């Protein structure tokens, strides 16, 4: 059980890291500590979406492999 929890956390580790970076970057910019282009924010957002999509795709493939879906036309 603990091993599965650690594996699940590792799968989301990059997604969590990107979210933290986006949050910190926004706070830094809002507090006028450093002014940088919003393109960096959108770059991180895009990477986050890629990571999230990849995790969802892998989980969907595992689900489909475990439970065969029967479609009735």
pLDDT at position 1 over 60: no
The per-residue pLDDT for 10 is: 65
Residue extents of the structural domains in the chain: 2-66
Helices (H), 1-73: 2-30, 38-66
Q: Are 51 and 15 in contact (CB under 8 A)?
A: yes
The per-residue pLDDT for 31 is: 93
What is the total residue count of the chain? 73
Please compute, for residue 55, the number of CA atoms within 13 A of its CA located in the half-sphere on the CB side: 16
pLDDT digits (tens, 9 = 90+) for 6-59: 666 666 788 788 889 889 989 998 999 988 888 988 998 998 888 888 888 888
CA quadruple 25, 27, 29, 31: dihedral positive or negative? negative
- pTM greater than the 0.75 cutoff: no
CA 20 to chain CA mean position, Å: 11
């Amino acid at each position: 059980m603990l091993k599965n929890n650690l594996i699940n956390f590792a799968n989301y580790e990059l997604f969590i890291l990107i979210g933290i970076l986006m949050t910190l970057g926004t706070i830094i910019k809002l507090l006028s500590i450093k002014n940088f282009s919003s393109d960096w924010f959108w770059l991180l957002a895009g990477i986050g979406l890629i990571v999230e999509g990849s995790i969802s795709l892998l989980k969907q493939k595992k689900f489909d492999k475990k439970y065969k879906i029967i479609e009735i036309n």
